Amino acid sequence: MDLDIWNFLTILLMVFALCTLIAGLFTAYFGAGKSRKIGAGLIVLGVIVGILWVYLAGMGNVVPGGDENIPVTDVIIESLYVIIAAIIGMVIALLLFLGAIMKS
């Protein structure tokens, strides 16, 4: 596998686990009846995918990257930077959107 595929899979699993966990917490807290059960299921799914991601990330110490091997921790740290940057960009865009809606 190429390094780009590893980055993609790492970000995909991390974001999926995080978003599923947050959506599950939100649904379980604000929902009622059946919605709370669905929220609990989302929480469990988020935790399982998170554990799976940690297990898969810990399987190998290096990621094959062409001529050189790259440590898995470097891929994880780079992925966290990408996720943090995406969240910051999303929050700024949301605040601009809400500001424009509130002014009109």
| pLDDT value for 47 | 93
| pLDDT value for 53 | 78
Element (H, E) at 64: strand 62-65
| pLDDT value for 43 | 93
The CA-atom distances, in angstroms, between 47 and each of 19, 40, 43, 86, 104 are 11, 11, 6, 22, 41
The CA-atom distances, in angstroms, between 51 and each of 7, 11, 15, 59, 60 are 18, 14, 13, 12, 15
| pLDDT value for 4 | 65
| pLDDT value for 69 | 66
pLDDT under 70: residue ranges of the chain: 1-4, 6-7, 57-70, 72, 104
**Do residues 42 and 24 make contact, with C-beta atoms less than 8 angstroms apart?**
yes
| pLDDT value for 60 | 54
